[in-house]
Structure 1
Amino acid sequence: MRATPKLSIALTALLCCALAPGLALSRELPDFTGLVSENGPAVVNISTKQSASVSQSLRGFSVPDLPEDSPLNDFFRHFFGEEGEIPDDTFQSRSLGSGFFVSQDGYVLTNSHVVEGADEIIVRTSDRREFVASLIGIDKRSDIALLKVDGENLPAAKIGSSKDLQVGEWVLAIGSPFGFESSATAGIVSAKGRSLPSENYVPFIQTDVAINPGNSGGPLFNLSGEVIGVNSQIYSRTGGFMGLSFAIPIDVAMDVVSQLKTKGRVSRGWLGVLIQDVTRELAESFGMDQPKGALVAQVLPDSPAAAADMRPGDVILRYNGTEILASSSLPPLVGETAVGATASLDVLRSGKRVQLKVRIGELPEEEALASSGGAPEQEAANRLGIVVRDLTPEQRKQLGAEKGGVLVESLEAGPADQAGLNVGDVILMLDNQPVSSIADFNRILAGIDPGRSVATLVQRGEGRMFYAIKVPKE
């Protein structure tokens, strides 16, 4: 059938309407060419030289006792001599990473793991100039290092802020993955405020930007050409990129840079508590409508929290007015608080809201955990399916439980076993009440209504954690 002129016009208009969203979308996709050309010169390649001895590299290796006619004897004699001793010769190892100028007078920001232990640090620019850098300082907790090279009018990157960064926002990384200098990769912000097992005081930016070995220390840019992060880590099962990359927020990094410049070290706020997430079962035991906050499992002795009368079982709901939804969000807030400042905490304690004022201390280099006679009394299995016994004075001292606790002697199939308790655990609190003996334990357990979930504070090794045990209905 032949189309009339009016029909052709209508079809053309309909086709244009259908294609319009796609055309508009294509126009909205970012063009990174200008961003790369403008900011690429500020990004540098970093190589290091480290002296290591053969004996260090082979520490723990011993020459096997082989039969005299073994063909491997000649091999081991060649490398280790007649006596089988490992030589103490030295060799040079090298590492590669990235960094960027943060000032025109030669300050370079990178990751601490890129330059740690280096005997010599070489900074190479995109126009092939090379500088020998001096190390101003490193901060292992944030994985930030500050270097200095002699130079003037160097191409410094424009520093932005990560506070207004939005999930879904386009970002660009420039670095030297696998030694390929000035490589640009792009993606989006996948999440903010990520806490990683290796570091609780940095609220990492998660992206899907392709980051690989050698990108470490390089900048992460927003579309305005501002550095909003320092690429630091990847999550990988293979050692290569798998879609999960993590960057240090530039606000955190520049605070470290400022402290390293002025005093050569970094100080952070410290509360002095060990915390954990509030699970659904624990929230039920605390009478909470939903699981949120940071549950205090242990208050370290002589800490700011101890001075403020914070207690195990407290649930921190707000810190200086900021709501704490997950326990991982608390350490960065405490860490960025000035040492000596007073912080306000909203705490849930025994079903009631309590406000505490804490004078924040300085985070130690390594946080330390709270380091007569007769046979101990032992109890038969109870309705939780556990057998507990009193601790001897020697056990209390050894386990760091001198103020109380009962030892889990054995477990039967039951609520405690299902909740995750193990033989050898020390029960310090039951239903938010301290346990100092079997008599205390039995008294508290007798007063718990069947069908309830009760919070149980357990010490396992040097760590402490709450478990929710559901008391069975009779």
Structure 2
Amino acid sequence: MGTVKRGPARITLTAGLGLGVSAPVGALELPDFTELVRENSAAVVNISTRQEAPGQSAPEEMLPEGIEPQQGPPPASGLRPVSAPLDPLQTPDLEGSRPGPDPFGDDGQSLGSGFLISDDGVILTNHHVVARADEVIVRLSDGREHDADVVGSDERTDLAVVEIDTDDELPTVSVGSAEKLEVGEWVLAIGSPFGFEHSVTAGIVSAKGRSLPHGNYVPYIQTDVAINPGNSGGPLFNLEGDVVGVNSQIYSRTGGFMGLSFAIPIELAIDVAEQLQATGEVERGWLGVLIQDLTRDLAEGFGLERPRGALVSELLDHSPAAEAGIESGDVILEFDGEVVENSATLPPMVGRTSIGRTVELLILRDGEEKTLEVEVAELPGEDELAAPSDAVEGGGGSDLGLQVEPVDDTTRQQLELDDEGGVLITSVEEGPAADAGLQVGDVLVSFDRQPVHSAEDLNDGAAAADPGSTVPVLVIRDGHPSFLALQMP
């Protein structure tokens, strides 16, 4: 029978090999986090905010702009790489959520974490922790409280810098490297989940470079560290005691921890923090393309041996990409000499590129590699990023199991389509179209990389495709362009 021997810094498992005799057959050493926690806890702070508003803010009201609260299973549209609800790690303060009178009156109260990055009181946290706050209070590890000023906040990366006024020299964290993190490596979080200050949880790195909705400029670190509301903005440490990430998001259908936590890489966080301190805003490079991942079937349709690169589904008018000659259906394989493994890796590359710099793009077009030069521009504001979609005439596609018709003016206006191209799918029956994921209401814009203006164009494209081949089909659904892989009968 096996026995378990426990030591102060490790657990050793042994197994019996005979009567009265046991010998070790293997040892599993678990890390001792005590020194790490002892040395770094003082640099982690609790952040509470108050918003002058009638009634207490519900958790969903504190979501970053563009992230909608959802219930039940995620939609199965297939148009987004991650379509499940992502809850920012924020909740009303515990006191405010208890039954009975609200000790804070009618003020909305919220809670988060942060950590000191300079000894004069500069603190890094999440944007959604301090967004729309009328008052920010920082509580240090020794219990002292300070009113804090928001130096700057960046919604696109969900990062913010706040500052407290103090004459004391405060403890700070040591900044490490998320780039050097390896999947399977131990990491540790310190924060204030549900108001329980300086709670410590640990786990491993589950994946790197994750892409999340509305987080295109952040290659998230995925971990299984237990993160809950109130951990937002807190540090993620490696075993050397260096901060490698800022805890920001969780995947949850319940509002609590489900084993999927996401942190912002520290290199990106420090770069954003330095820009916010210098100018109060963040500059980002911009190409002006909408991109998606390639599935195995799409990769085959575009002539790739395996899924790789970022597939361009749409270009914005007058964007750097459009002026450089990039086309819808191009697959971007390299950006400025860096390999683009998937659509999640491209935006951070572009975002950190200096404005006005000319870089080379290696693309795949019609089965051949081609190099283009593009001058990176500054990312416009949200109000300037109205994306025009290619998207219209009527009848067939019956061999594929679908029927189409011209897009009328009302539908065109509702879908914000331009004046050319596309047919509206009115019926999808069992067959290749249904297998590919085409749906009634989709606007079919191109077939096998050729524009579709009418049912005749669609039928011509289907007739020209080789039987059994996989062709890329570009559709617009809910205002978003996306390629689907359709296997010809």
Question: The TM-score by the shorter chain falls in which range?
Answer: 0.7 to 0.9
In structure 2, C-alpha distance between the alignment counterparts of 1:54 and 1:211, rounded to whole Å: 27
Aligned pair in 2 of structure 1 residues 397, 20: CA closer, same or farther (>3 Å)?
closer
| TM superposition shift of 1:331 | 1.5
Deviations 1:351-409 (A, max 9, x none): 111111111122223232116xxxx9633453112223344567656641423223323
Q: CA deviation at 1:208?
A: 1.5
Native 8 Å contact 2:396 2:456 kept in 1: no
**SS of 1:52's equivalent?**
coil
Give the whole-Å Cα distance in 1 for the aligned partners of 2:236 and 2:295: 35
- Counterpart-to-counterpart distance in 2, 1:130 and 1:138: 22
Q: Aligned partner of 1:241: which letter?
A: F
1:141 aligns with 2:156: yes
Tell me the CA shift for residue 340 of structure 1: 1.6
Give the whole-Å Cα distance in 2 for the aligned partners of 1:285 and 1:171.
40
Instruction: State whether structure 2 residue 247 is matched by structure 1 residue 231.
Output: yes
1:384 maps to what in 2? 400
CA apart distance, 1:272: 0.9
Q: Which residue of 1 aligns with 2:452?
A: 435
* Whole-angstrom CA distance in 2 between matches of 1:300 and 1:404: 16
1:350 equivalenced with 2:402 (yes/no): no
Selected match of 1:412 from 423, 429, 454: 429
Structure 1 residues 242-253: aligned runs within 5 Å:
242-253=258-269
- Which digits, 9 at most, give the CA deviation of each residue in 1:83-129, with x for residues without a partner? xxxxxxx8112111111110011101111111111111111111111
> Which residue of 1 is the match for residue 84 of structure 2?
none
2-structure distance, mates of 1:238, 1:54: 23
Letter in structure 2 aligned against 1:115: V
Residue type of the alignment partner of 1:46:
I
Q: Which amino acid aligns with 1:369?
A: A
In the aligned structure 1, how far is the partner of 2:39 from the partner of 2:393?
75
Kept after mapping to 2: 8 A contact 1:453/1:470: yes
Alignment of 1:45-60 (within 5 A): 45-54=46-55
SS at match of 1:199: coil
Q: Where does residue 183 of structure 1 map in the other structure?
A: 199
Q: For residues 117-167 of structure 1, give each alpha carbon's deviation from its aligned partner in whole angstroms, at most 9, with x where no partner exists.
A: 111111111111111101101111111110111123111111122111111
Structure 1, unmatched stretches of 5+, are 1-10, 58-89
C-alpha distance in 2 between matches for 1:398 and 1:54: 36
Residue 315 of structure 2 corresponds to which residue in structure 1?
Answer: 299
- Answering whether residue 129 of structure 2 is matched by residue 114 of structure 1, we say yes
Could you tell me which runs of 5 or more consecutive residues in structure 2 were left unpaired when the two chains were aligned: 1-16, 59-104
Distance 1:40 1:353, change over 3 A: same
For 1:438 and 1:139, the matched residues in 2 are separated by: 46
Structure 1: distance between partners of 2:405 and 2:228: 53
The residue number in structure 2 matching 1:97 is 112
Partner of 1:330: 346
Superposed displacement of residue 55, structure 1: 11
User: CA separation in 1, counterparts of 2:256 and 2:393?
Assistant: 56
CA contact (8 A) 1:319 1:344 kept: yes
Higher share in helix: 1
2:244, 2:265 within 8 Å by CA — same for their partners in 1?
yes
Contact 2:183–2:204 (8 Å) recurs in 1: yes
TM-aligned CA distance change 1:396 to 1:247, over 3 Å: closer
Retained in 2: the 8 A contact 1:101–1:109?
A: yes
Closer/same/farther in 2, CA of residues 393 and 38 from structure 1, 3 Å limit? closer
Please state how far the C-alpha of 1:437 moved relative to its aligned partner.
3.1
Asked if 1:466 is matched to 2:471, the reply is: no
Distance in 2 separating the partners of 1:311 and 1:165: 36
Provide the residue aligned with 1:263 in structure 2: 279
Pairing of 1:24-39 with structure 2 (within 5 A): 25-26=28-29, 29-39=30-40
User: Which residue does 2:13 correspond to in 1?
Assistant: none
AA in 2 matched with 1:378: G
Within a 5 Å distance, the mapping from 1:350-369 to structure 2 comes to: 350-366=366-382, 367-369=385-387
4+ long deviations beyond 4 Å: 54-57, 391-399
Q: Cα distance, 1:298 vs. partner?
A: 0.6
Greater Cα radius of gyration, structure 1 or 2:
1
Residue of structure 2 in register with 1:159 after alignment = 175
Q: Is the alpha carbon distance of 1:20 and 1:347 closer, same or farther for their aligned partners in structure 2, counting shifts above 3 Å? A: same
Equivalents in 1 of 2:407, 2:111: separation in Å?
53
- Amino acid aligned to 1:437: S
Q: Which moved more, 1:320-329 or 1:212-221?
A: 320-329
So what's the TM-score if we normalise by structure 2?
Answer: 0.81
Structure 1 contact 369–462 (Cα < 8 Å) conserved = no
Whether the aligned pair in 2 keeps the contact of 1:49 and 1:95 (CA below 8 Å) is yes
Letter in 2 for 1:353: E
- Distance in 1, Cα, partners of 2:365 & 2:439: 27
Structure 1 residues 123 and 433 mapped into 2: Cα distance closer, same or farther (>3 Å)? same
SS in 1 for 2:161: strand
Give how far 1:217 is off. Answer: 0.8
Matching residue's letter, 1:465: S
TM-score (norm 1): 0.83
Q: Distance between the aligned counterparts of 2:261 and 2:413, measured in 1?
A: 44
Q: Please show how residues 180-219 of structure 1 align to structure 2 within 5 Å.
A: 180-219=196-235
Determine if contact 1:393/1:402 at 8 Å carries over to the other structure: no
* Superimposed CA distance per residue, residues 328-349 of structure 1 (whole angstroms, 9 cap, x where no aligned partner): 2222222222222222211110
The amino acid across from 1:379 in the alignment is G
- For 2:52, what is the secondary structure of its paired residue? strand
Q: Provide the C-alpha distance between the structure 2 equivalents of 1:219 and 1:189, rounded to a whole number of angstroms.
A: 14
Q: How many residues align?
A: 420
Distance 1:380 1:342, change over 3 A: closer
360-369 or 213-222: bigger deviation: 360-369
Q: Report the counterpart of residue 61 of structure 1 in structure 2.
A: none
Identity %: 56
Specify the code of the residue in structure 1 equivalent to 2:360. S
